[in-house]
Amino acid sequence: MIVSMTGYGRAICERHDFSCQVEVKSVNNRFLKSTIRLPDDMNDCEVEIEKLLRESLGRGAVTVNVTVTTPAAAAAAPVNLKAAEYYLHQLSTLAASAAKKRPKTAVPFSIDLAQLLLLPGVCAPVGAIDEKMRLKTRDAVLKLVHEALKQLTQMRQREGKALWRDLESHLNEMRVAVEKIRGQAPLVAREYHQRLRARVMQLVSDAKLSLNDADLLREVALFSERADISEELARLSAHLDHFGEVAQKQTQAGRTLEFLAQEMLRETNTIGSKASDGQIARWTLQLKGLIDRIKEQVQNVE
């Protein structure tokens, strides 16, 4: 069954140390065109996300928005309490030793905690913490992209079913019009024969000449050959059947359906130009209008 190129999907992950949100939107486009917006420290995910898009989608303009939020507590580097206690013990011992050696010059002992946190080993390296968090977030984002794409695909499939119902109604109307033209076509030559014979009889009567039936039949035969639309009607009917088969059996059928719609229009134009009949001309205009609607709808098909 055909699939629409219009869709939307969203996936969210809430954790104690970070939260992620992925939104995927798609609209019509002749080819697959992707726009991926990521946090600056996750640009390496773009290749993986691009691969997921190409595996899931055939064409369309796709936009992926990834948002990552990290709480301040999770972003802060943890303090190594044992290392801090070791430094405090060493500093206290050093201060006590200095006070014994120079009791008269001793000053009150104080420690700047901000400076203590800068000592080696008290806080874990920020870069290591960021890398660990980045890898964890990267895995979560890729899973969310997969989930959002699944929602997007489901929506595109629902839209595709709605498109097919609309297209099917247009195809049925076209089949009715084609059958009407097929029934009217044999009458065109007969009516032309009658009109031509009446006109020639009038001219011959006025000029007091005799009518050669062989010449009249020859002219009618030439007209019938020029106005014969049986081949065009057969090809148009075949295109209608092929259109329905492709729409029901293929998922990425948009380009094939565009080609078939163009071929249907070409056959219809030929029918309109060859059949010199007012009723057929009206049905031909109806066919053109239906084909225009089909071509417009096919622009939404993947």
State the CATH number of the domain containing residue 135.
3.30.230
146 & 99 share domain: no
Please, which residues bridge with residue 14 across strands?
19
The pLDDT tens digits for 205-238 are 555 545 555 655 565 555 555 657 888 899 999 9
Task: Residue 69: count other Cβ atoms within 10 Å of its Cβ.
Answer: 11
Same domain, 43 and 117: no
Tell me, yes or no, whether 302 lies in a domain: no
Q: Provide the pairing of β-strand 19-27 with 60-69.
A: antiparallel
Element (H, E) at 61: strand 60-69
Per-residue pLDDT in tens (0 to 9) along the chain, 302 residues: 899 999 999 999 988 778 899 999 999 998 999 999 998 878 888 999 999 999 999 899 999 999 988 765 455 566 778 888 888 888 788 777 777 776 665 556 677 777 777 778 777 654 444 677 778 888 899 999 999 999 999 999 999 999 999 999 999 999 999 999 988 877 765 665 555 555 555 555 555 545 555 655 565 555 555 657 888 899 999 999 999 999 988 878 999 999 999 999 999 998 888 777 788 889 999 999 999 999 999 999 99
Are residues 14 and 65 located together in one domain of the fold? yes
CB 106 within 8 A of CB 98: yes
Q: Flag whether 95 is in a domain.
A: yes
Full strand arrangement of the beta sheet holding 32-37: 7-14, 19-27, 60-69, 32-37
Other C-beta atoms closer than 10 Å to the C-beta of 20 total 23
- Which runs of consecutive H residues, i.e. helices, occur in 80-212? 81-101, 113-117, 126-207
Residue with tokens 């106005």: 227
Do both 115 and 45 map to the same domain?
A: no
- Clarify whether residues 68 and 95 are in a common domain: no
Domain identity same for 138 and 114: no
Whether residue 69 sits in one domain with residue 137 = yes
- Does pTM top 0.85 for this prediction? no
pLDDT in the model for residue 156? 94
Q: Which residues constitute the domain of residue 101?
A: 79-123
Instruction: Determine the number of helices (DSSP H) and then strands (DSSP E) in the chain.
Output: 9, 4
pLDDT at 194: 55
The two three-digit tokens of residue 133, written as one number:
């968090």
Q: Using an 8 Å Cβ cutoff, are 53 and 34 in contact?
A: yes
**Does residue 68 share a domain with residue 16?**
yes
Tell me if 151 sits within 8 A of 54, measured CB to CB. Answer: no
- Give the per-residue pLDDT at 129: 46
The pLDDT score that the predictor gives to residue 127 is 47
Of 300, 281, 61, 5, nearest to 167 by C-alpha is 300
Q: Name the residue type at position 228.
A: D
